[in-house]
Amino acid sequence: MAYIFLSFSEHLNRGANSKNDFYNLSLNEQFELLQRRIPLERQVTNFNTFIETCFPTNFNKKYYISCPNFLREKHQVAEDKPSFLNNVVIRPELTLSMKRVLPDNQNIILIGDIYEGGKLKMLQIKGLQLIDDSMESPYDVRVDDYSVCNSFERGYWSINHVDYNDTFFTPNNIKTIIDNCWTVEHPEEIRKTYEVWNKYIEFRKYYLQEQSKRNFKLDRVMFVEAYAVNRKDYKKNASIYDEYLLDGRDEFKW
């Protein structure tokens, strides 16, 4: 049996590494915020318990994988380092047990990066969100009758002595996600539009950098501290405020 390896340990207590990443809160912090959106009688206080309810170990069910990015190339930090495919989304089939811990008509998604290093190929989770249970895409990769294997602590998995090579995230499946897993009907047209705008954005970055090189020295700076007072307060204390009117000009009373 192949497993979907989900690793929560990397970002359980700290946000994503990149400053530009949307998920800059730890998973525990995101979980606390998410619980506030769930009815009180359905809230779960333990993150691990919540995940195991929605993504149960050794329980076969359907999962849906999507890749919202229009740029979806794998990348490496260095030649001998693991490769990554960023911002992959996994959505579970909604079950009765999940409905006991989620709001009505809602489902949960996990957002992470596919990590390929050594024997273990997994999805490193960095974000979780609630979505309407009706949200789906016909281009999602549907994974039938798979079980997940969860890790909440580095080096420890929810299945003892699991075979790390027995993973869903094989090179072929990752290529399928890159090539076919789109959220729009005509991705090639969207990509062209993206590339046109990206050229403009890159030009603006260059332009602003060049503009920042043009500067001149200031010999001195003068400033005045100013405060606004509403009319009601002014009328109450007109005799006090009049002394501080800028340049003593009566029109500033208004």
More confident residue, 19 or 142: 142
Q: Is the pLDDT of residue 233 over 90?
A: no
Per-residue pLDDT of 97-129, as tens digits, reads 999 999 999 999 999 999 988 778 999 999 999
Question: How far apart (Å, rounded) are the C-alpha atoms in residues 110 and 87?
Answer: 10
pLDDT at 81: 80
Residues 87 and 16 occupy one common structural domain: yes
**Stretch among 15-19, 37-41, 247-251 having the lowest mean pLDDT:** 15-19
Question: How far apart (Å, rounded) are the C-alpha atoms in residues 231 and 84?
Answer: 60
pLDDT at 87: 92
Residues 10 and 91 occupy one common structural domain: yes
pLDDT at 18: 65
Q: Is the pLDDT of residue 56 over 90?
A: yes
Residues 42 and 98 occupy one common structural domain: yes
Residues 194 and 121 occupy one common structural domain: no
Q: Is the pLDDT of residue 17 over 70?
A: no
In 3D space, the residue among 57, 44, 43, 42 whose CA is nearest the CA of residue 8 turns out to be: 57
pLDDT at 213: 87
How many distinct structural domains can be found in the chain? 2
Residue 108: give the domain boundaries: 3-183
Residues 42 and 60 occupy one common structural domain: yes
Last residue of a domain, one of 126, 157, 183: 183
What is the arithmetic mean of pLDDT over 139-162? Answer: 91
Per-residue pLDDT of 170-228, as tens digits, reads 989 999 999 888 888 888 888 888 899 999 999 999 999 998 888 888 899 988 787 78
Residues 79 and 22 occupy one common structural domain: yes
* Mean pLDDT over each residue of the chain, to the nearest integer: 88
More confident residue, 187 or 19: 187
pLDDT at 20: 65
User: What pTM did the predictor assign?
Assistant: 0.75
Instruction: State the residue for tokens 């929605």.
Output: 54
Residues 87 and 207 occupy one common structural domain: no
Residues 234 and 143 occupy one common structural domain: no
Residues 167 and 194 occupy one common structural domain: no
Last residue of a domain, one of 183, 215, 240: 183
SS (H, E, C) the chain: CCEEEEECCCCCCCCCCCCCCCCCCCHHHHHHHHHCCCCHHHCCCCHHHHHHHHCCECCCEEEEEECCCCCCCCEECCCCCCEEEEEEEEEECCCHHHHCCCCCCEEEEEEEEEEEECCEEEEEEEEEEEEECCCCCCCCEEEEEEEEEEECECCECCCCCCCCCCECCCHHHHHHHHHHCCCCCCHHHHHHHHHHHHHHHHHHHHHHHHHHHCCCCCCCCCCCCCCCCCHHHHHHCHHHHHHHCHHHCHHHHC
